[in-house]
């Protein structure tokens, strides 16, 4: 079985270093001329999948925008995940789960078990119950060929108050997370399956990402104000492992298929240039 790191490395090689979020904001539904209801949600998600799933390396549905429509929204999330994967995109479900280990095992089963209807290639998780509490997700990911992206240095301005705080050993909370995830990827080739989320907005913080040996998801580009030119300051020598992520910047180019594809071509070109 191929690991997620191997599959992601191959997908980026074939399709380029880009993740596009599927974030059906109410404002985007309105902009696309769609109703803010389940039918609008379904049309929005179907359009993004039709336009992009055969060409971008990673699609990242934001679970919150599906959950807000209850069980019918979850049903659309299920079909969005399935259709995206069938069209060849890797699906990173942005669901930011994190809990005590025994509960984390249930979350891992919900999103990573090959038999689950929500089975994704990877998920985002929150480490603030301790990285060790995420162990059931790491274990299931390892045995099922899935990936995990752990929040480390998030793109929102509020994140630093927690993530830059100094932990008992003298390192920041974020550096502690970075170091624990680096250990999980030790020896993996060409890329580990355990990634980090590091916002493109955060600037030069002094955190050491050099030993991660896994994917570095960079949200915050476009709508949150960061540009590909900001990536070098944030990631330094680890630029080669960066997976830039855009949601609203690309989605606002819809609802036309051609417009969405043109937006992807534009940001991908910018990202390739910035990543070198």
Ligand X SMILES: O=c1ccn([C@@H]2O[C@H](COP(=O)(O)O)[C@@H](O)[C@H]2O)c(=O)[nH]1
Give the catalytic positions in this structure.
96
Least Å distance, CB 1 to ligand X, is 28
Within residues 134-163, the interface with ligand X by CB under 6 A covers: 154-155
Minimum separation from the CB atom of position 91 to ligand X (A): 14
Pick between residue 3 and residue 92 the one whose CB is nearest to ligand X. 92
**Interface residues for ligand X in 14-43 (CB under 6 A)?**
21, 23
- Applying CB under 6 A, among 40, 219, 228, 244 the residue interacting with ligand X is 219
Site size for ligand X (CB under 6 A): 17
User: What φ, ψ does residue 41 adopt, rounded to 5°?
Assistant: -60, -45
Pick between residue 136 and residue 244 the one whose CB is nearest to ligand X.
244
- Cβ 217 to ligand X, closest distance in Å? 8
223 makes contact with ligand X (CB under 6 A): yes
**230 is an interface residue for ligand X by CB under 6 A:** no
Contact pattern from residue 166 through residue 205 relative to ligand X, giving x for each residue in contact according to CB under 6 A and a dash for the rest: -------------------------------x-x------
Choice from 82, 248, 261, 272 touching ligand X (CB under 6 A): 248
**Smaller CB separation from ligand X, 28 or 184:** 28
Q: Which positions lie near ligand X, rule CB under 6 A?
A: 21, 23, 62, 94, 154-155, 197, 199, 219-220, 222-224, 246-249
């Amino acid at each position: 079985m191929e690991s997620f790191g191997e599959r992601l490395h191959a997908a980026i090689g074939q399709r380029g270093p880009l993740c596009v979020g599927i974030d059906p904001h109410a404002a985007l539904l309105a902009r696309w001329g769609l109703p803010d209801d389940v039918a609008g949600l379904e049309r929005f998600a179907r359009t993004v999948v039709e336009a992009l799933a055969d060409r971008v390396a990673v699609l990242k549905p934001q679970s919150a925008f599906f959950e807000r429509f209850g069980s019918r929204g979850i049903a659309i999330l299920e079909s969005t995940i399935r259709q995206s994967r069938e069209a060849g995109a890797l699906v990173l479900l942005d669901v930011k789960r994190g809990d005590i280990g025994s509960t984390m095992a249930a979350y891992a089963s919900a999103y990573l078990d090959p038999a689950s209807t929500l089975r994704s290639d990877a998920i985002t998780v929150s480490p603030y119950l301790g990285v060790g509490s995420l162990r059931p997700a790491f274990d299931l990911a390892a045995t099922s060929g899935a990936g995990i992206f752990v929040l480390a240095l998030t793109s929102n301005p509020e994140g630093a108050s927690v993530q830059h705080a100094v932990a008992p050993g003298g390192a920041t909370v974020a550096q502690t997370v970075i170091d624990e995830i680096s250990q999980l990827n030790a020896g993996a080739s060409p890329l580990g399956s355990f990634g980090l989320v590091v916002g493109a907005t955060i600037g030069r913080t002094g955190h050491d990402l050099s030993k991660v040996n896994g994917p570095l998801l960079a949200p915050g580009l476009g709508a949150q104000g960061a540009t590909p030119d900001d990536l070098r300051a944030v990631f330094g020598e680890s630029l080669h492992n960066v997976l830039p992520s855009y949601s609203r910047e690309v989605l606002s180019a819809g609802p036309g298929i051609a417009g969405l594809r043109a937006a992807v071509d534009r940001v991908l070109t910018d990202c390739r240039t910035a990543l070198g």
